[in-house]
Structure 1
Amino acid sequence: MKLLLVEDDLMAAALLKGRLEQEGLEVAVALNVPSAQQMLTSATYTAVLLKVDLPESSGFELCRFIRQHSEKLSVLMFTANTSTDYKLQGFEAGADDYLVQPFEFGELLARLRALHRRYPVVHTEKVLKVADLELHGSSKIVKRGDKRIDLTGRELALLEYFMHNQGRAVTRQEIVHKVWDLSFNTGTNVVDVYVNYLRKKIDREFTPKLIHTLNGIGYILEDRAV
């Protein structure tokens, strides 16, 4: 895994870089947003480990810059700010995951590895279908009727999980485990945030609605018009 670490504290960056490299990761460091932007446009990375509170320009701005250029580059943001609104700003900017400092190095490593496994290999062109919603296996093309729908990598993984479990209630914990590859609670409402993103793209302009909330349980993907 080739990682770009964006951290303005030189000593903290050096310590974290050293530990990550001991785990077999290739790590480059940017100390500010302009340097990170230059490095992102001149090299290819698997993921970005991004500090939110940076001088001059915030990590939120850099995350938006990343999303303008790539929907598939994984972004894990971290900050000492424990506010839920702050976390939601990160997800709205395009982050895939979010950690609050101080955090255990083992958890950081687990989350980075989970992001690295975010795109499952599909060997057949199996088409998953619910009503007029289609997901083509190997090409990952998503269509609702005649309209092609562009999804981010995480949204695609979430939709694929829903479609493999169509007609079955799935809990938030199941989704976190299967889509985020985590066996522990993220401590945020990341599932609800991404379900909302997905609804805006595959349900808002279409009928029938396919993603339904089950109060106290989770969600279900099904065509209730049948």
Structure 2
Amino acid sequence: MKLLIIEDNESLLDSMKQFLQDEFEVEIATTGDDGLYMAQQDIYDIIILDVMLPEIDGFEILRHLRHDKIMTPVLFVTAKDSLEDRVKGLEIGGDDYIVKPFQADELKARIRASLRRSGSLTIDHTLRYRGIELFGKEKEINIDGKPLKLTIKQYELLEYLVQNSGHILTREQIFDRIWGFESDTTVAIVEVYIHHLRKKLEPFGYHKDIQNVRGIGYLLKEPTE
């Protein structure tokens, strides 16, 4: 699962990245402008958002995201502990609020709780779509009770499609999510991996569930025919 931390305290940022990257793929931003741009790509499972940031604060970032109909769960992390700030963060669309200093285990617990509420995570870290089960901790897949071997990128692609089943994902969203902004490849790689993933799913009859949306991207949905 992919997580974005927007935090300008580099020491705290490094610490959070260290203790979260064993469970999540972590990307970071140290300014409000950079964080807003990254968050607007709508490729993250959760955003850890500081309130006091250079250029644009966390509250304004969240307002932009919700205005753009980006409903990624947002967990505010801040030194501000007044009731007014906590209420403000939640009222404008935040999902939770944790006050500095905090323990790593509490932050992880709050992240998991927000992901469960959003439907992105089950207690046992399992994602399900029809007969497909993805076991997040082990990066293993069962289809109709039988194991399927995928590469890491193929697994991440299928995971992202399952998380967004019934919703169109653009090629750019898929590229940014799976390969990242700094990748030296191009968005054309998405079509290649979709082709390979369909081949892996074909023996189970699920290859037609990955549907082309002409000129836009892909949709994971049970075919009507």
Q: TM-score, normalised by structure 2?
A: 0.51
Amino acid at match of 1:80: A
Aligned twin of 1:11: 11
2:2 matched to 1:2? yes
Q: Structure 2 CA distance, aligned partners of 1:76 and 1:43?
A: 15
Q: How big is the shift at 1:43?
A: 5.4
Gap regions ≥5 residues in structure 1 = 124-138, 140-226
Deviations 1:137-182, CA, capped at 9 Å, x for gaps: xx9xxxxxxxxxxxxxxxxxxxxxxxxxxxxxxxxxxxxxxxxxxx
Q: How big is the shift at 1:41?
A: 3.0
Task: Judge conservation of contact 1:77–1:97 (CA < 8 Å) in 2.
Answer: yes
2:51 matched to 1:44? no
Deviations 1:9-41, CA, capped at 9 Å, x for gaps: 22221121111002x211100111110122123
Q: How big is the shift at 1:71?
A: 4.8
Q: Structure 2 CA distance, aligned partners of 1:65 and 1:5?
A: 17
Aligned twin of 1:63: 62
1:1-226 matched pairs, under 5 angstroms: 1-22=1-22, 24-42=23-41, 44-120=43-119
Q: Structure 1 CA distance, aligned partners of 2:34 and 2:70?
A: 20
Q: How big is the shift at 1:69?
A: 2.0
Q: How big is the shift at 1:77?
A: 0.2
Aligned twin of 1:170: none
The number of aligned residues is: 125
Q: Structure 2 CA distance, aligned partners of 1:54 and 1:11?
A: 15
Q: How big is the shift at 1:50?
A: 0.2
Task: Judge conservation of contact 2:4–2:46 (CA < 8 Å) in 1.
Answer: yes
Q: Structure 2 CA distance, aligned partners of 1:34 and 1:113?
A: 27
Gap change, CA 1:85 and 1:19, over 3 Å in 2: same
Task: Judge conservation of contact 1:3–1:49 (CA < 8 Å) in 2.
Answer: yes
Deviations 1:39-74, CA, capped at 9 Å, x for gaps: 123350001000011123211001111111235310
Q: Structure 2 CA distance, aligned partners of 1:20 and 1:70?
A: 27
Amino acid at match of 1:8: D
Task: Judge conservation of contact 1:61–1:93 (CA < 8 Å) in 2.
Answer: no
Task: Judge conservation of contact 2:73–2:118 (CA < 8 Å) in 1.
Answer: no
Aligned twin of 1:221: none
Amino acid at match of 1:108: L
Amino acid at match of 1:98: Y
Deviations 1:166-203, CA, capped at 9 Å, x for gaps: xxxxxxxxxxxxxxxxxxxxxxxxxxxxxxxxxxxxxx
Aligned twin of 2:190: none
Aligned twin of 2:173: none
Task: Judge conservation of contact 2:45–2:115 (CA < 8 Å) in 1.
Answer: yes
Q: How big is the shift at 1:106?
A: 0.7
Q: Structure 2 CA distance, aligned partners of 1:37 and 1:111?
A: 22
Q: Structure 1 CA distance, aligned partners of 2:3 and 2:118?
A: 17
Q: Which runs of 4+ in 1 moved over 6 A?
A: none
Tell me how large the CA RMSD over aligned residues is: 2.5
Task: Judge conservation of contact 2:65–2:71 (CA < 8 Å) in 1.
Answer: no
Q: Structure 1 CA distance, aligned partners of 2:39 and 2:28?
A: 11
